[in-house]
Structure 1
Amino acid sequence: MKGAILAADKVLPPDGAVPMPWPARRVVIDGAMLHVRDTPATAPGAEPAVYVHGLGGSSQNWTDFAGLLTDRFDAQAVDLPGFGYSDPSPRYSIPAFADRLIGYLEYAGRGPVHLVGNSLGGSISVRVAALRPDLVRTLTLVSPAMPFLDPRRTAQGPMLPLLALPRAERLFAWGLARLTPEQLAEQVLLACFGDTAKVNPQRRVEAIEEIKLRHTVEHYPRAYLGTLRGLVSSFLRAYLPGADSQWRLAARITAPTLVIGGLRDELVDPRVPAQVAKAIPDGRLLILPGVGHVAQMEVPRLVARAVVGLLDDVDSAVGRGA
């Protein structure tokens, strides 16, 4: 493991107007619709990239970050099955999500991509990079939801007993209905950001609109709780014998990898990013004081600078014949 390299801020576009969510399209793979947002490249030579959001999130979690890298990446952000506008899935597990992402990468046919995942998306991306190294050029993990021993100590802790109850989805839907979209948005932002003062007003409005959408989607409670069960299951399996452990998969990754964590993360143990960067053979680590669970939304310029630093480091190594 080594420290991350931050490119100079001047290599990024100057601060300007807050971009709107990027244009979207629908892709049908094996009969199921996957909702995808495109951030087209603005410079020749830009390379393919794919962004994968976390539990309860959507492709809109990448809007600002994606806009900063349009000269480097011809990027696509996916709504995972059951989230955003994508169709629901029969199964909500890390392997099921990874299979769907692999299917999309093969369908897109753009060759190996720069894969960037946050939280749940980071855990999914670890599995994809380990099992299909031919599809991944570099890997960036922002607060990856990799296994740690006591998830009860996080902001998700109060949700865990619900997983064991019969009709848990109905109870969860009932709880959602008791709160206004504004109240739910505030809860989400408090859990995900180290400093909610950094939330742009436009992004707050978009968060509320996404929550209103969830109130109209019948499958959302099942998708959310099913995915949370899948994560907890991956945590339990991680410390048992067998090749399917997320930690053993991380050790198989060959792609140059950047791992980013925030010290005010309330959803993933802040010690986890360092463990991930150490487990991956070509790992780099960036720890951000005062930052929460979604660094790509809270401090997108810092995260973009770290990604450019990774790309420059990889290019430099290729030039040296390393």
Structure 2
Amino acid sequence: MKPATLWPDDRLPAHRPPPPWPGRPVRLDGTVTYVRETPATGPGAEPALYLHGLGGSSQNWTDLAGLLADRLDGQAIDLPGFGRSEPGRRYTVASFADLTVRWIEHTDRGPVHLFGNSLGGAVAVRVAALRPDLVRTLTLISPALPFLDFRRSLQGRMLPVLAIPRGERLVAWRLAQLAPEVMAEQVIAACVADLSRISEQRRAEALEEIRVRYEADHYAAAYVRTFRGLVSSFLRSYLPGPDSLWRLAGTVTAPTLVVGGRQDRLVDVRVAPQTARAIPDSRLLMLDGVGHVAQVEVPRTVARAVLGLLGESQRRSGRSDVAP
């Protein structure tokens, strides 16, 4: 593990919050996966794939992908049951990783620069470990790798729901008690340390995403079952066997950037450094005053670290056109 390298800020485009990526439904293995795409703006751009966190969507990557479009041709998918994707049959880290592999193979874009936030980070680690041929570099932002002290997470108050049969009904009832505007503000406050960094445009988009959730009958079940699957993966990671996410992290060979916010309220802040120590070829960036979604809160800083990762990995491969 070593510190992340930040490229100069003037290498990035001027700050202009881009509009939402255009999206489209794609039928894959009998169900619809919704994908948003941002076309590359520079020559020689390489493919990238972005995976959101629990309760998130492909919209969470708009700003970062816009800043990286000169170098990366981006796609962001809504995982099954979230955003505008249809519900899935299973909601586990393994099943989401299988879908990600199928997506990369289906689109014939691999190997990709793979990004994951929170739950998406756990999924990305599994993909990078089991299918290294599909991953050029790995960027993990507040990855939800295993931790057992749920007092360090706002999600800890969800644990009793997992013990209730059909706990998704309780979650659906709770959603029905809150106006979408209230729920949107609560979600933003849980994920972001400094609310002044979130523009009115992004707030409006978050509200629209919440409205989509309210219209999706499957959302509560998808959320609860995914949370149950994530907690199960945490517990298995501390037991013998090959399915431990920590053991898988130790086998990742892709050059990796790990970003953590010191004010993360959803994933134990000790997880990002532990992840960087577990992955052999890793760089760590810990950000003061930043919460769970650094790519939303401080996208320029994250983009500078990503460019540092890309520059280093491309110089290793002998690219002569990569500036130091």
Whether contact under 8 Å (1:296, 1:303) holds in the other structure is yes
SS at match of 1:56: coil
SS at match of 2:154: coil
Residues 152-301 of structure 1 correspond to what in structure 2 (within 5 A)?
152-301=151-300
| Partner residue, 1:3 | 3
Could you tell me how far 1:167 is from its partner in structure 2?
Answer: 2.3
Whether contact under 8 Å (2:48, 2:74) holds in the other structure is yes
| Partner residue, 2:132 | 133
Could you tell me how far apart the structure 2 residues matched to 1:100 and 1:283 are? 25
Could you tell me how far apart the structure 2 residues matched to 1:89 and 1:298 are? 30
Could you tell me how far apart the structure 1 residues matched to 2:302 and 2:174 are? 34
Could you tell me how far 1:75 is from its partner in structure 2?
Answer: 0.6
Could you tell me how far 1:32 is from its partner in structure 2?
Answer: 0.8
Deviation track 1:124-162 (CA, whole Å, cap 9, x = no partner) reads 000000000000000000000000121243111111101
TM-score, reference length from structure 1: 0.98
Residues 89-100 of structure 1 correspond to what in structure 2 (within 5 A)?
89-100=88-99
Could you tell me how far apart the structure 2 residues matched to 1:109 and 1:275 are? 33
SS at match of 1:33: strand
Could you tell me how far 1:305 is from its partner in structure 2?
Answer: 0.4
| Partner residue, 1:35 | 34
Could you tell me how far apart the structure 1 residues matched to 2:131 and 2:98 are? 10
Whether contact under 8 Å (1:7, 1:306) holds in the other structure is yes
Whether contact under 8 Å (2:152, 2:267) holds in the other structure is no
Could you tell me how far apart the structure 2 residues matched to 1:36 and 1:215 are? 20
Name the count of aligned residue pairs. 320
TM-score, reference length from structure 2: 0.97
Could you tell me how far apart the structure 2 residues matched to 1:208 and 1:41 are? 28
Residues 18-97 of structure 1 correspond to what in structure 2 (within 5 A)?
18-97=17-96
Could you tell me how far 1:316 is from its partner in structure 2?
Answer: 2.3
Counterpart of 2:308 in structure 1: which amino acid?
Answer: G
SS at match of 1:319: coil
Could you tell me how far 1:93 is from its partner in structure 2?
Answer: 0.3
Could you tell me how far apart the structure 1 residues matched to 2:301 and 2:224 are? 32
Could you tell me how far apart the structure 1 residues matched to 2:255 and 2:18 are? 30
- Answer yes or no: is 1:146 the counterpart of 2:145: yes
Gaps of 5+ in 1: none
Deviation track 1:248-290 (CA, whole Å, cap 9, x = no partner) reads 0000100000000000000001111000001001011000000
Could you tell me how far 1:317 is from its partner in structure 2?
Answer: 2.4
Could you tell me how far 1:186 is from its partner in structure 2?
Answer: 1.0
Could you tell me how far apart the structure 2 residues matched to 1:84 and 1:106 are? 22
Whether contact under 8 Å (2:265, 2:291) holds in the other structure is yes
Counterpart of 2:57 in structure 1: which amino acid?
Answer: S
Whether contact under 8 Å (1:152, 1:160) holds in the other structure is no
Pairwise CA RMSD of aligned residues?
1.1
Counterpart of 2:166 in structure 1: which amino acid?
Answer: R
Could you tell me how far apart the structure 2 residues matched to 1:20 and 1:119 are? 23
Residues 106-125 of structure 1 correspond to what in structure 2 (within 5 A)?
106-125=105-124
| Partner residue, 1:14 | 14
Whether contact under 8 Å (1:261, 1:295) holds in the other structure is yes
Could you tell me how far apart the structure 1 residues matched to 2:82 and 2:110 are? 26
Gaps of 5+ in 2: none
Counterpart of 2:200 in structure 1: which amino acid?
Answer: P
Could you tell me how far apart the structure 2 residues matched to 1:303 and 1:165 are? 39
Could you tell me how far apart the structure 2 residues matched to 1:119 and 1:6 are? 22
Could you tell me how far 1:314 is from its partner in structure 2?
Answer: 1.1
Could you tell me how far apart the structure 2 residues matched to 1:34 and 1:212 are? 19
Counterpart of 2:316 in structure 1: which amino acid?
Answer: A
Could you tell me how far apart the structure 1 residues matched to 2:296 and 2:54 are? 15
Whether contact under 8 Å (1:19, 1:64) holds in the other structure is yes
SS at match of 1:156: helix
Could you tell me how far apart the structure 1 residues matched to 2:276 and 2:88 are? 31
Counterpart of 1:295 in structure 2: which amino acid?
Answer: A
Could you tell me how far apart the structure 2 residues matched to 1:112 and 1:166 are? 41
Identity %: 64
Would you identify which runs of 4 or more consecutive aligned residues in structure 1 move more than 4 Å? none
Could you tell me how far 1:320 is from its partner in structure 2?
Answer: 9.5
SS at match of 1:13: coil
